[in-house]
Amino acid sequence: MRVSRMVKAERTAVYHAFLDPETLVSWLPPDTTRGQVHVFEACEGGKFRISLSYQDPEHSPHGKPSDDTDTFQGRFVELVPYTKIVEVIEFESEDPGFGGEMRITVSLDDADGGIKITMLYEDIPRGIRPEDNERGSQSSLEKLATLLEANGQDPRCHPQQGIRGDGVKSGR
């Protein structure tokens, strides 16, 4: 599955929005959820663990660790500064339908007036309905666009604010 969105922002701001945990948790959770970052190491091989809590438990998919929370963990497989982020994630669930690693490749490409973000999902667990994954991804990317376009770029993601020259957050 592939989901794309045009964002009128600088490439560096978009890239950093994926690698700064405070910024990530402000846009990643779809509209019906709120996020919490437990672990986040923004480097190749670095691990992360994030929970998304549903504001209305009726929207929560069944088979998750609790009635209102989706928790997943993963690692960064590849970071190509300002161009590509590859990660694999696993959902924490006893339901085998949510088992296995899902690979997400984020590509950033120049486009008229901004950056085209493309998220490619591979090996989506069978317990996740493709239309739900697509809807959640579109919601997240819309929130990211709103965040970056409203502020020009998020100050927490600016290269002068603790980001090394290779695009990886320093001071892990």
Q: How many domains does the chain have?
A: 1
Q: Give pLDDT, residue 64.
A: 46
Tell me whether residue 164 is in a domain. no
Q: Give pLDDT, residue 152.
A: 59
Sheet holding 69-80, edge to edge: 2-7, 114-122, 102-111, 84-91, 69-80, 47-54, 33-40
Q: What is the CATH number of the domain that holds 120?
A: 3.30.530.20
- Going by pLDDT thresholds of 50, 70 and 90, the confidence category of residue 67 is low
E strand or H helix that includes residue 100: none
One-letter amino acid of 124? I
pTM comes to 0.82
Mean pLDDT computed over 58-74: 66
- For residue 87, what are the β-bridge partners? 76, 104
* Rounded Cα–Cα distance for residues 42 and 19 (Å): 6
Tell me whether residue 166 is in a domain. no
3 C-beta neighbours (distance < 10 Å), count? 17
Domain that includes residue 32, residue range: 2-157
| % the chain with pLDDT above 90 | 69
Mean pLDDT computed over 103-128: 96
Average pLDDT over the chain reads 85
Task: Give the C-alpha distances (Å, rounded to integers) separating 31 from 3, 67, 89, 145.
Answer: 17, 17, 21, 14
Tell me whether residue 172 is in a domain. no
